[in-house]
Structure 1
Amino acid sequence: MHFVIMGAGRVGSSLASQLDQMGHSVAVIDRDSDAFRRLPANFNGRRVTGLGFDRDSLRQAGIEEAYAFAAVSNGDNSNIIAARVVRETFGVERVVARIYDPQRAVLYQRLGIPTVGTVKYTTSEMLQRMIPSESDVIFNDAPSDMQIVHEEVNEEWTGIRITEFEREFGTKVAFLRRLSEGVIPDELTVFQEGDEVFFAVHESARVAAVRGLQRTPQKED
C-alpha cells in the first residue's frame, strides 16, 4: 500500500521509517529539503520538497494512489488544510491530522477528520489510524487462508449490485446488516446506504477488498 506523510519532523520521519520497514510504499512532503536528513539512510520512499496542501506536490507524492495520508507538520492550520484537500479533492478516506489546539481538534473531528493531539500523540497511534487493522476480521481459518470480514460500506456503493463487489475483489458476501436486521443477498441485491457487509475473502486479498468498500467503486461503461 502507498502512504503519504506531510512533515519530515521527528514524528513524520519516524512514521515514514516504520511504514517503509513494513514494506509499504511511502512518500514524505516537506517544505524544507534539509528536514529529509531525519529519514534513515536506507529509506526507500519518495522525498517531495513542497507544501503538503499544494496539489502538484501531493500528486508528485502519489496521493492519487494513496491508501492513507497523515499531516504531521508543526502547524495546525497547515495540517487541517492539507487534510481537507486530500479528503475532498483526492478522495482519500483515511486521513489523520496532528492538532495542538484541543478546541480545534473537536471541530475537525466533527468534520470527519480524525485528529491526534500533542499530549497523547504517538507514532503508534498514527499507524493504527492509517493501516487497516485485523479488528474487523471476525473469523480466520489459517489452514485455508480464508477470513470472514465485517466492514461498513461507502455510500457511493449505494445502488450497485453486490455481485459486482464479489467479482471485482474475489469475495463472497455472506449477509448484510441493514437497519439492524440481517439480509441474505441474492444475485439482484444492491447495496443501500448504511449497509454493513460480512464477506469471505482470502487473507491476501482482504486489504484490497476493504479498501474497495471505503472508496468510490469503479463504474462499468
Structure 2
Amino acid sequence: MRIIIVGCGRMGAGLALTLTQRGHDVTVIDRDPTAFAALGERFSGRIITGHGFDREVLRHAGITRADGLAAVTSSDETNVVTARAARQFFRVPRVVARLYDPRKAEIYRRLGVLTISTTEWGVHRITELLSYSWFEPIVSLGSSVDIVDVETPPALVGRSLASLTVPGEVHPVAVSRGGRCFLPTPETRLQAGDLVHIAVLTTSTGRLKALLGV
C-alpha cells in the first residue's frame, strides 16, 4: 500500500518505520527538515519538507495514488485540516488523524474523519492497569473495546456461549481448549478448563462479571 504520513515526531517516525518494515510504500511530510533524523538509516521511504495541509505538497507526495494517510503532527487543527483535505478533496480511501483533545473527536467523526485520541486511550489504559480485576485485558482496541481472557467458572460448565453474550456489549470470539484455539458458535458448550476470549466494551465489564457470576 502507498501511505502518506504527515508529521515526523515520535509517533510519525515510529509509524513510518513500522509500515516500511511491513512492506508498504511510505512517504513522510514534515515542515521541519531536521525532524527526519528520527527515521534513522533503516527508513527506505521518501521524505518531503513542507506543510501537510498544502495541496501542492500533498500532490508532490503522491496523494492522488495514495491508499491511506495519517495526520499525526503536534497540532489538532493541522491534523484535521490535512485529514479532511485528503478525504474529501483527494478521496483517499483511509484517513486517520491524531487528536490530543478527546472532546473534539466526535465533531470530527461526524465530518467523516477517523480519529485517534492518545490522551483518551491513555486515560482508559492507565485506569485499567490501576484498577484491580480478576481478568486482564490482553488487547485494547482503541479506547472502548477490550479483548479479555476468562477461564470458564465452574457454574458455567455445560452452558452455551449464548449465555455469555450481550448484543453490542459482550461477545465471545474464540475458545482455547485442549491446546488448540477455535471459533465457536453461540451453541458451543463450555467445558472445564476452557479459556474464553471475549470482546467487551470497557463500559460493560460489570455486565460480563455478572454473567460470569463474579
Q: What's the offset of the Cα at 1:93?
A: 2.1
Partner in structure 2 of residue 14 of structure 1? 14
Q: How many residues align?
A: 125
2 CA distance for matches of 1:60 and 1:28? 11
Q: Where do 4+ consecutive residues of structure 1 move more than 2 Å?
A: none
Amino-acid identity (%): 50
Partner in structure 1 of residue 112 of structure 2? 112
2 CA distance for matches of 1:87 and 1:108? 12
Per-residue displacement from partner, 1:45-78 (whole Å, max 9, x unpaired)? 1100000010111111111111000000000000
2 CA distance for matches of 1:55 and 1:71? 14
> With structure 2 as the length reference, what TM-score do the two structures score?
0.56
> With structure 1 as the length reference, what TM-score do the two structures score?
0.54
2 CA distance for matches of 1:22 and 1:102? 30
Partner in structure 2 of residue 153 of structure 1? none
Counterparts of 1:1-221 in structure 2 under 5 Å?
A: 1-119=1-119, 120=121
Question: Which blocks of at least 5 consecutive residues in structure 2 are unaligned?
Answer: 126-139, 143-214
Letter of the 1:111 counterpart: L
- Aligned to 1:59, the other structure's residue is in SS state helix
Partner in structure 2 of residue 154 of structure 1? none
Q: What's the offset of the Cα at 1:118?
A: 1.9
Q: Is the 8 A contact 1:17 1:40 kept in 2?
A: no
2 CA distance for matches of 1:100 and 1:66? 25
Question: Which blocks of at least 5 consecutive residues in structure 1 are unaligned?
Answer: 127-221
- Aligned to 2:28, the other structure's residue is in SS state strand
- Aligned to 1:85, the other structure's residue is in SS state helix
- Aligned to 2:81, the other structure's residue is in SS state helix
2 CA distance for matches of 1:87 and 1:97? 11
2 CA distance for matches of 1:32 and 1:95? 22
Partner in structure 2 of residue 197 of structure 1? none
Q: CA RMSD in A?
A: 1.9
